[in-house]
Structure 1
Amino acid sequence: MADIFAHFGAKLENVSVGCCGMAGTYGHEVKNHANSLAIYALSWQQAMQRLPRNRCLVTGYSCRSQVKRIEGSGVRHPLQALLEIIG
């Protein structure tokens, strides 16, 4: 993916994060709610609070949903950012 963005003059920085805690419907189930939040807190929470949200790109729908649910604002799919770049 970085090669595609580089072709259009944009540089990507990969940030290593683990599971976001959503995993499809897992995080939406009442019985899993606390565990879902705890999993998110292991790595995603630090990254989302450290990085400018408008610069974060996330490929997975479940993880984008989890970020929006917990942080209150969403992140974009890489294709949305690419469309913005190429106009």
Structure 2
Amino acid sequence: MYLLLSIILTIILGGVLLMMGPVAGGLLAFAIITGTLFRGLYLLNDIHRRITKDIPKPDPVKEAYENYLKEKERKVQG
């Protein structure tokens, strides 16, 4: 349903842009496309920030300490 509505609105917008002439219609079409692309990039950046916020970054000091404890444990056992 939303796809059909989008297609109909796009046909109407295209007709209006054609009636405005090549310069004004082209300028308005460029503004619409550019605005849509920037909005898409903004949303992708927002999604990326939300996803990476949940994943903790590895701590090299903690990893080194855990490796040290594992090696110490192996030496005690072996």
TM-score (norm 2): 0.26
Give the structure with higher Rg (CA): 2
The structure, 1 or 2, with the larger RCO (C-alpha pairs under 8 Å, 6+ apart) is 1
Structure with the largest fraction of helix: 2
Q: TM-score, normalised by structure 1?
A: 0.24
